[in-house]
Amino acid sequence: MTNSSIASKFFKYRSYTPIPFLILMFLYEDANIWSLIAGFIVALIGESIRLWGVSWAGSETRTTGSVGGTYLIISGPFSHVRNPLYVGNILMYFGLGLMSFSIFPYLQIVALVFFFVQYHFIIKEEENYLQKAYGESYQNYLKNVPRIFPRLTRYKAAKVEQPPFNLKEGLKSEKRTLQAFAVVSLTIFLIWFFRRM
C-alpha cells in the first residue's frame, strides 16, 4: 500500500477514526472533578481553533473525496500554523480523553500517537496538492510556517488572495463538530455524575 493510498483512506474516514477511542472513554470512564475541568478547557481550546480556522477556510474542510481547496489560506490561525484544524482536533480529542480519565495515561498516549500518524499521512498528501496548485506562494508559506507547532508571530504575504473571515459560515460548517463536542462532553460528565451517586 502506497503512502498516497494510506493518506486517501485516512482522509476519507477521518471523521470515524475517533469512534473506537470514544467507546473506550465511555466504557472505562474514571473522571474526577479536576480531569473534567482541565480536559474540558483543553478540548474547548481545540474546538475554538477549529472554529477560527473554518471561519477562514469555509466548508471545503468538510470534503471526504480528495484533498483540495480554492484558496491557499494563510490568514487567521493559518498564519501561525499550516494545519490548525488538525491541531484543533488533536487538542479536542486529547481534552475529551483527559476529561474521561479513561485508562489514564495509556489511552491518551495511544490516541495522540494514532492521530499524529493519521495526520502525518493526510498532511503529506495535502502538501503535495498545495505545492502543485500554488507553487512559489506555497513554497514560501512552507518555509515560514510550521506544520503542527505554531509560530508566535503572524506570517504575511500580501499578494496571496484570501477569502473573507466569515464566522456565520464557520459556525454553519462546524455545526456537526460542535454538536459532537457537546454530546461527548455532556455524556462524560453525566457518566461521572451518576457514578458518584
pLDDT of residue 60: 64
pLDDT of residue 6: 86
For cell 482541565, name the residue: 38
Alpha helices in 15-166 (DSSP H): 19-27, 33-57, 84-100, 106-144
Record the cell numbers describing residue 194, joined without a space.
Answer: 451518576
Measured CA to CA, the distance from residue 5 to residue 37 in angstroms comes to 39
Measured CA to CA, the distance from residue 22 to residue 28 in angstroms comes to 10
Task: Of 177, 184, 194, 182, give the one whose Cα is nearest residue 54.
Answer: 177
Per-residue pLDDT of the chain (197 residues; tens, 9 = 90+): 677 788 888 988 888 999 999 999 999 999 999 999 999 999 999 999 999 999 999 866 555 444 556 789 999 999 999 999 999 999 999 999 999 999 999 999 999 999 999 999 999 999 999 999 999 999 999 999 999 999 999 999 988 999 999 999 999 999 999 999 999 999 999 999 999 88
CA 191 to chain centre: 25
HSE at residue 19, side-chain half, CA atoms within 13 A, is 5
pLDDT of residue 141: 97
Per-domain residue ranges of the chain: 19-196
pLDDT of residue 154: 97
Measured CA to CA, the distance from residue 3 to residue 166 in angstroms comes to 34
User: Using alpha carbons only, what angle is made at residue 93 by residues 88 and 99, rounded to the nearest 5 degrees?
Assistant: 125
